[in-house]
Every structure is written in C-alpha cells, then in structure tokens.
Amino acid sequence: MSCDVKKYARVVVNIPVNKVFHYSIPEEIKDSIDVGSLVNVPFGRRYLTGYCVGFAGESDVQNIKDIKSVTDKNISVDDGMLRITKWISDYYCCSWGEALDAVMPVGVKNSLTAKPVKFAKLVEDVSGAEDEIDRIAKKSPAQARILRTLTEINNELSVKDLLSIAKANRSSLSKLEERNLVVIRTSSCSSPKTKENKHVILKDVARPDLSDEQQKAVDVIDTKLKEHSFNVILLQGVTGSGKTEVYLRAIELAVSLGLCSIVLVPEIALTPQTIRYFKTRFENVAVMHSNLLESDRRQQWQSIKNGTVNVVVGTRSAIFAPVKRLGVVIVDEEHEGTFKQENSPRYNGRDVGIMRAMYNDALVILGSATPSLESYYNAVREKYTHVLMKKRIGKMVVPHVDIVDMAKEASQTKRFCYISRHLERSMRKALLEDGQIILFLNRRGFAPFINCRKCGFVLKCKNCDITLTYHKITNNMVCHYCYREQPAPKDCPDCAMPDIKYQGFGTERVEEEIKRKFPDQIVLRMDSDTMKKRGSHEKAFAEFENGKAHILLGTQMIAKGLDFANVTVVGVISADTTLNIPDFRSSERTFQLLAQVSGRAGRGVKEGLVIIQAFNTKHYSIQHALKTDYEGFAMEELSFRKQLNYPPYGRIIRILFMGKVEENVKERATVLTNRLKRYGREKGLTVDILGPAEASVSRIKNKFRWHTILKAPKSCPIHSIIDHISSDLPLSGGVQSIVDVDPGYML
C-alpha cells in the first residue's frame, strides 16, 4: 500500500459510540502500520489502544492528532476478524471498537504494555504446610487465601492474577513477603507455562465403532465438508446417542483436509471432561475460557495465531480464536443461554459462529438433545440440514422417568419435604447396589428469603428489588444480583419478633437434608458458592468419577454434557422453579433442563431412573419431558410463540433504561420510546413497540430499571428504528440506555 494513501488512519476505540476517528500517521510508523494494527492513540486527556480499520488520503476533520505508536507488529486483527466484528457492530447495535476489543483476550491486550510484571511464589518451606496456613487464617483470612491459592496453583503466579483469585489486597501480600513466606520477583516476560491440572487425566482411547445413526451423521458431515461451502447442520441426538464421537470424527475429517476447528461448550464446568475427549485424539488442542490466567490466555492465543494449533475448545469467546483455514465450527448444547454475552457487545456465540463460518465457507454443527426453537424451526424449514440420532449407543437405554406431585406428598406426610419418599427409597437402593446419584436444584443458598410470621416483613437487598438469600455456612444474607452481604438477623428488623422463619430451599439446605438422611455418604455440592477456586470443577468431577463420592448435588452446571457411567438415579428436586420466571422462554428452559439432567442417568450398563419432583405436574413442559418428547413440546410451544410473534416467528430487541433516580429513568424511557413509535408510524414500519414499563426486577445495584420491547417479523425494520435514535442512546442525564438484540432473558 503506497504511503500517500496512508496519510490518515481510520481508527476505532473501545467506547460505546459507533464512530470511526481519523489520526495522522507519523512518517516513522508508516511502514509498520496496516489495516488491523493495534495502535496507541491520544483520546481526550488519555491514551487508548485503538484498531486501525482502514486509511484515507484526506479528511474533513480539523486538528487531527498523530498516532503515538503501533503497539506490537506481531499482534493484529486479520481481515476476516475485521469483517465479523463489523457485522457484530451492525447487528448487535454496539460500536465497532467494542466488538474488536471483545476478540482480543485480556492477556494479549495487557501484554502490549511495556511495564514489567511482578510474580509471586511460595518459599519451599511453606509449600504444603496446611497447619501454618490454618494458624494464619485465624488472624488474617486474606493472607491465608493468598497462601492457599499459591499452594493450589503449585507454580508462580502474577501478582495481579494472585490478588484477583485470592480476593486480597497488595498489603496482605507485602506482609507475607516481609515474613519470608512468599517471594516476589519482577520480570519483563510472561510467567512460565502453568502446569497441567492434575485432575485432568489424559490417556489413549481407541476410536469406538460407530452406530448406524452416528455413521449416517458422519457421512453427511463428510459430504458437506468436501463441498467447501457454508452449511449448517443441526445434529439433534438424544442424550447418550454419541454426539461427542460425531464431533471428533468431524474434526478428523477437517484435519485430513488441512482445516482447523473451533468447538464451543456452554459452561467452564464442562471444559475438563470435553478437553479430555479432544486431547486423547488430537495433539494440538488449545483451550480458551475466562478462568485461564492472563499468561495462559496469551500463550494459547499466540499458539493459535502462529498456526501450531488446529483444534480450539472453549466457551463463547473461543469463537474469536485467530485460527487459520477455519473448516468446522461445532456448538455443543447449542440451546444454552450461556452462549449469550450479557454485557457489550451482547453477542450470541452460536450466531457469531454461524456468521464466521459463512464468511469462511465453513461447516457449522449445532449439537443438542433439546435444540433451541430457533434452530429447530430453521431445520424444519430446511434452512439447516437436520440430522437425527434417536437411539442411545451401545447397551445404554433411555432411563425410566417418574414424577412426584409434591403437593400430594406434603398432604400425605403432613409436612413439607425436599426429598420425597420415592426419591429417598430409590437413592438407598442405588447406593446399596454401588450406584451413583445426581440431584439437581437450580437454586443455590440455604433459603431464598426470610420473613416474619407476625408482621410479614421480607428482607430485601437495599440496592436491588430482590429478596436476600440466606447462606447458613457463613450465616449471611446475600444478594445474588449485586453480591451485597449482611449478617442474618436473629429478630425481625421491622417488629423485633424473635425467631423469624427461613422460607424455601436451595442447594445448601438440600445438602444438609441429604447428609442427615445419608450420614455415611460423601456429598459433593456444585454451585457458584462451592466452585470458586481454580480447578474446583475438575477436582469435584474427578472425585465423583473415581467413586470417592456417590451423591452429586448441584445447579445447572451439572445438568448437561457430563458422562458418568455409574449414575443410576437422577433426582430433580424442584422441576417448576424456572416456570415461575416472567419470561417467554421459561417453558422452553424448563423442558430443556429436565430433558438434559434426565440424560445423565443410565449412561452405562446399569439401567437409569429419573425422578422429577414438582408442584405444577400438569404443565406441558413437564409432561413432555416425562416422555422425552421434544417434537411434541416444540409443536405446542411454537403454537404459543406464533400467536404472539415471538421468536422464531419474529425478532426482538429490548432497550433497557437504568439510572439512580427513578423519575429520570421513567422520563427518559418514555421520551425515547415515543420517538421510536412516532418514527415507526411515519415510515410505515411493521414493528410492535411495547412499553415503556418497569422491568421484572425493577432495581439492581441501586439503579432503577425500565424497558421497552420491539418486535417485528424480521430484524431489518427494528434496526432501522434503533438507528434513528442511536445518537441518543449513550448515557444521558444519568440514565444509561442499553440495546439488547435477541435478548436471552427479559428480566
């Protein structure tokens, strides 16, 4: 590219304003800057990292500033990533700079600074000295958390990562250094590669023979891959039908053609078991998810960019891995809501994967036993290739499913219980036969709320319109939205009535009940309260797989994708919990969760039993889950969606207004919504605009929340209306306006 065309650089930065800025290019950097380069630019009174998205020979802008520098010639964004981020910017109504910043891992961005990095490690005498750590914990819990973190990592760690993981400050670390318990060094290079987690066991596994259904699926994939054109396959297979083996064969086919693959999984909790499958079959596998240390993310990213990796496994952000010659994008459990990013850019990893594959003439495989209704609808209309796998592989049979009406249970036993008599009997039988049990409850804590029996007072968060959850282990009341904590009161804060009542139940309370009924059993509880430490998911799954524990209790992180051959009983403690959420997807999520968690039973030679406990046993989502009848559920749910033009029959954009003064939020929401309605009428656009109205959760983190919903048969008219007010959407008058395209939740 000639230098005269490079007079001005077109640069975007990570701010919520979708604008391209012009900067002059100093002579000394003209040879090092190119489209996709990361540049250091003056922006107001500060310097920001920007992304060069093009050049211009002239500009109408006055007083153009110079680019300060190109940050690193080895780190840049290629044309394909520029193209996909521009689509993200346009479709998800965010700035191009925000979209580009999302594709660059934190570890890579932070490595662009020339500042030396400090690393910490234990002195050898302290390593493994648990008694010493326990003694320190009595006086300084923060110092003990630092020591335990370094013990678990079993390697040196950057000070930034260490303090973040241990939830400690620099002062606590300095005191440990003064006491000669921790050594700190300064280096300009990244830390050595962290040791592979000892709980992830790698071993050679022979390629199993394929079932007839698996072979048909692989044949379809082989044909589509060899076409070297964009295709989407919906691989709908019942739990236990062997979808993972089909994924592995698809990647083998891609590798044989010299192509790379990206595999997306919905939960970090699933990555250890998933990684094990892929690392037994492929040598060059990179892992990308948010729990990696910055140094690890940087190393993985560089390996992928350098072309030494041909398989990438990770959560939603792995879709931005800088692979060369992309051939296959696999989205496992494609229906999962965790593929949707909840802050800007609010993209869906599944949909970005489809668009990235389209730009690369690659194949997409969407796998699920319970596909999203959007994907199923596309398959029914033959927009996607639909591949069905209706049978479990080998000798596995679909588990028997029973339902327990908990209202009748309470009436017959004259008390409220968490574990029904049928479930308890089945658990005892399974344990006698050396089987294992998985219990699912999608609610953590001990009790969802406390109230006074005399005056009816319910303790709520001061910052959020939500009840505080009681956590018995810490004796604290916790808000699960803003994470504010306060000691649990002994008496009613309103009328001083003693002995207030703990209402409802969560995983912590059910764990206590199980331990009371089964005192000789080790119970593993997996929820966001117990899985905070690095490696905790891997450790828990390894203990359960190795038979050290026979009862696994958890939230939705245990509901899908896990394969334990010895599990013979699965219990769903409260199946209708998600039905009570005011969201049009509540029925779909309930069916999917029940079907997925049921699929954890009977995955070996032993028969499986699933027991679903519920109060609303007649609801169609629960009834269809009992029969593992996805098609029946889909037809019934789609008929409701069609009447109201909800997805997949229409597209939705939600605008959320937030601010600390409720009247200002309401006024801002009303003004902008009225402008939207007026513009829609003037242009004759077919768009339903609902609201503004208070959000279901009307206050979070001390900010009041109102929202407006836009619905239309296609996304084009909605985007046209949003574009009309885009310049007014950023923060104004203390009110923040957030546009969420294809929202995952409506709360």
- CA–CA dist 506, 484 (Å, integer): 18
pLDDT of 323-355, one tens digit each? 989 999 999 999 999 999 989 999 999 999 999
Identify each DSSP E strand in 304-399 by its residue range: 311-314, 326-332, 363-368, 385-389
Q: Residue 390: its pLDDT value, please?
A: 93
pLDDT of 544-570, one tens digit each? 888 899 999 988 877 766 778 899 999
- If you average pLDDT over residues 421-433, what whole number do you get? 95
Q: Residue 90: its pLDDT value, please?
A: 94
Enter the DSSP assignment of 209. P
Q: Which residues pair with 659 in a beta bridge?
A: 704, 735
User: Which structure tokens are listed for 314?
Assistant: 């990770």
Burial of 288 (0-12, 13-18, 19+ CB in 10 A): buried
Please state, for a pLDDT cut of 70, what percent of the chain lies above it: 93
Residue whose structure tokens are 């009303």: 670
Say if residues 231 and 385 touch (Cβ distance below 8 Å). Answer: yes
With CA atoms as reference, report the closest residue to 77 among 124, 22, 127, 39: 39
Question: pTM (2 decimals)?
Answer: 0.83
pLDDT of 133-191, one tens digit each? 878 877 888 888 888 888 776 667 778 878 877 778 888 899 888 888 888 887 654 44
N-terminal to C-terminal alpha carbon distance within the chain: 50
**E strand or H helix at 553:** strand 551-554
- CA–CA dist 738, 726 (Å, integer): 11
Say if residues 723 and 699 touch (Cβ distance below 8 Å). Answer: no
Q: Which residues pair with 467 in a beta bridge?
A: 460
Could you give phi then psi for residue 632, rounded to 5 degrees? Answer: -60, -45
- Per-residue CA distances from 373 to 119, 329, 358, 376 (Å): 48, 20, 21, 5
Strands 436-440, 567-572: pairing is parallel
Sorted by where each starts, the structural domains of the chain and their CATH numbers stand as 5-104 (3.40.1440.60), 117-187 (no CATH), 212-389 (3.40.50.300), 400-446+505-640 (3.40.50.300), 651-741 (3.30.70.600)
Four-CA torsion 637, 640, 645, 646, nearest 10 degrees: -40
- CA–CA dist 436, 552 (Å, integer): 8
